[in-house]
Chain A
Amino acid sequence: MIEVKDLKKSFGELEILKGINTTINKGEKVVVIGPSGSGKSTFLRCLNRLEQPTSGKIIFEGNDITDMSDKQLCAIREKMGMVFQHFHLFPHLTIKKNLTLAPVKLGLKSKEEADKKAMDMLKKVGLADKADAYPNQLSGGQKQRIAIARALCMDPDVMLFDEPTSALDPEMVGEVLNLMKQLADEGMTMVVVTHEMGFAREVASRVMFVDGGYIMEENSPEEFFSNPQNPRLKEFLSRVL
């Protein structure tokens, strides 16, 4: 579904990604871990071109998104849901409007269809009673669940999660991870950048260790955690587990 070929990204002189190669298949749940500054978030943000790659190719459903017009890119992004560390809900709109804005304004759904879909998604994330509230009235965990619902309203083919629980109070991490687990069980293709090792172990179909701008190791979660090969990964795991 997503094919990444020799992806490189520099910010000025600083080379963050030095050559990433991987393929993410439909239905896979890929969890990306790594020390901070390793480039894992940059990698994720390149996948829907929030960051413009310096070189390399990213092929999504057969289309190379690295040299695509802005218009084509918008159509691609409709199919790639993204969830941010800091939620980025639209504070001036009600929860329901947050969910229906893009589908309606992009002409994908009529207002009625979008409203119905929004209510379905709010039920799914357990926040149907918040439809008319504003984002500032919600807790962090609730905000993130709404952000996930907002992305789901676009009927995405893949969901990208950029450290979705890193900005949350500890007692709210669980509700967001549970929702993500539920999504995974339903067969959603997911790429998750996170520090939650428990989530990686339990939900991932593949865990990827990124460090120094490369994928140092990728494996099934059992092998990855019980039998790491790369010395940097061993050291990393010994520090975080």
Chain B
Amino acid sequence: MKSFLENLHDTFIVDDRWKYLTNGLKTTLLITFFAVIIGMILGFIIAIIRASHDKTGKFKILNLFAKLYLTVIRGTPVMVQLLIIYYVIFASVNIDKVFVGILAFGLNSAAYVAEIVRSGIMSIDNGQFEAGTSLGMNYSKTMVYIIIPQAFKNVLPALANECIVLLKETSVAGYIALEDLTKGGDIIRSLTYEAFLPLIAVALIYLIMVVALSSLVSRLERRLAKSDRG
């Protein structure tokens, strides 16, 4: 019977197998980071189109596309979307898998970000719009300088949570043979025939990241609440 430390040594240290975890973590963070950026930018654009349509009746066609997009993305599993983007859309192109991952998770996240931001815009009292327009500001100026800053502040915690969810969702990236953190742990498992240590290690790394991010979010929430009290 091997001791725990020997086990640890055999699983991670021999052949530098720990590198599967660190390299995987790098990939996971890389995908998450850029997917968040794509998600935020695209999500904001969709939210503004949808909210503007709801408020002014403009952008009929764009709104239709946006609605279709949200329905498809939110109505299908992210894993299926990932597989389709890799094996169908980019089937005949030799393309970097990390890029595919970023694209898939970014496009997926955008749909959720869009609905979060839209609800934030719609939650701002219509009086703010009226105050802006009564000062002679047009719709887009009112939106940019008055509505969006307030909406953004209101939904900041929800957006931060979406980032946390995204971080965990990237764990299905292994299905297109992307060596992310989860896949890295799984590779160690297949090499050592030892499942317990690598998978628990992977889980712990996710947990630490999520707990750290969550505590950042709740600190953010407290600070925002403070400025509300004036």
Q: Given the complex, which residues of A lie within 8 Å of B96, measured CB to CB? A: none
Give A60 Cβ to nearest chain B Cβ, in Å.
Answer: 13
B216 at interface by CB-CB < 8 Å: no
Q: Given the complex, which residues of A lie within 8 Å of B135, measured CB to CB? A: 77-78, 101-102, 106, 150-151, 154
Q: Given the complex, which residues of B lie within 8 Å of A86, measured CB to CB? A: 127
Give B31 Cβ to nearest chain A Cβ, in Å.
Answer: 33
CA distance A86 to B131 in the complex (A): 10
Q: Which of B128, B134, B137, B230 contacts A105 (CB 8 A)?
A: B137
Q: A70-B138, A102-B136, A154-B136 are in contact. Are A50 and B130 (CB under 8 A)?
A: yes
Is B133 in contact with A77, judged by CB distance below 8 angstroms?
yes
B125 at interface by CB-CB < 8 Å: yes
**Contact code string B133-153 (vs A, CB < 8 Å = 1, else 0):** 111111101000110011001
B55 at interface by CB-CB < 8 Å: no
A137 at interface by CB-CB < 8 Å: yes
Give B165 Cβ to nearest chain A Cβ, in Å.
Answer: 27
B2 at interface by CB-CB < 8 Å: no
**Contact code string A56-79 (vs B, CB < 8 Å = 1, else 0):** 000000000000001100111110
Q: Given the complex, which residues of B lie within 8 Å of A91, measured CB to CB? A: 150
**Contact code string A79-102 (vs B, CB < 8 Å = 1, else 0):** 011101010111110000000011
Is B230 in contact with A136, judged by CB distance below 8 angstroms?
yes
Q: A74-B138, A80-B134 are in contact. Are A137 and B128 (CB under 8 A)?
A: no
**Contact code string A126-144 (vs B, CB < 8 Å = 1, else 0):** 0000000010110000000
Is B230 in contact with A90, judged by CB distance below 8 angstroms?
no
The residue among B127, B135, B137, B141 with the most chain A CB atoms within 10 A of its own CB is B135
A48 at interface by CB-CB < 8 Å: yes
Give B133 Cβ to nearest chain A Cβ, in Å.
Answer: 7
Give A107 Cβ to nearest chain B Cβ, in Å.
Answer: 11
B228 at interface by CB-CB < 8 Å: yes
Q: A86-B127, A92-B150 are in contact. Are A137 and B230 (CB under 8 A)?
A: yes
Is A102 in contact with B127, judged by CB distance below 8 angstroms?
no
CA distance A136 to B134 in the complex (A): 21
Q: Given the complex, which residues of A lie within 8 Å of B131, measured CB to CB? A: 82, 84, 88-90
Q: A91-B150, A101-B145 are in contact. Are A106 and B136 (CB under 8 A)?
A: yes
Q: Given the complex, which residues of A lie within 8 Å of B230, measured CB to CB? A: 134, 136-137
B223 at interface by CB-CB < 8 Å: no
Q: Given the complex, which residues of A lie within 8 Å of B132, measured CB to CB? A: 102
Q: Given the complex, which residues of B lie within 8 Å of A88, measured CB to CB? A: 125, 127-128, 130-131
**Contact code string B111-140 (vs A, CB < 8 Å = 1, else 0):** 000000000000001011011111111110
Is B137 in contact with A50, judged by CB distance below 8 angstroms?
no
Interface residues of B in 79-128 (CB under 8 A from A): 125, 127-128
Q: Which of A81, A90, A102 contacts B128 (CB 8 A)?
A: A90
CA distance A92 to B130 in the complex (A): 16
Q: Given the complex, which residues of B lie within 8 Å of A89, measured CB to CB? A: 131
Interface residues of A in 137-163 (CB under 8 A from B): 137, 150-151, 154
Give A136 Cβ to nearest chain B Cβ, in Å.
Answer: 4
CA distance A70 to B141 in the complex (A): 13
Is B128 in contact with A77, judged by CB distance below 8 angstroms?
no
CA distance A84 to B127 in the complex (A): 8
Offer 16 A-B interface pairs, CB within 8 angstroms, sorted by A. A75-B136, A78-B135, A78-B136, A82-B130, A84-B134, A88-B125, A88-B127, A88-B131, A90-B146, A92-B149, A92-B150, A106-B137, A134-B230, A136-B230, A137-B230, A151-B135
Task: A77-B136, A90-B146, A92-B149 are known; give 17 further A-B pairs, CB within 8 A.
Answer: A48-B134, A70-B138, A74-B133, A76-B136, A78-B135, A82-B134, A84-B130, A88-B125, A88-B128, A88-B131, A89-B131, A90-B128, A101-B135, A101-B145, A102-B135, A136-B228, A150-B135
A-B pairs with lowest CB-CB distance, top 9: A78-B136, A88-B131, A102-B135, A136-B230, A82-B134, A88-B127, A137-B230, A77-B136, A74-B136
**A-to-B contact residues, CB < 8 Å:** 48, 50, 70-71, 74-78, 80-82, 84, 86, 88-92, 101-102, 105-106, 134, 136-137, 150-151, 154
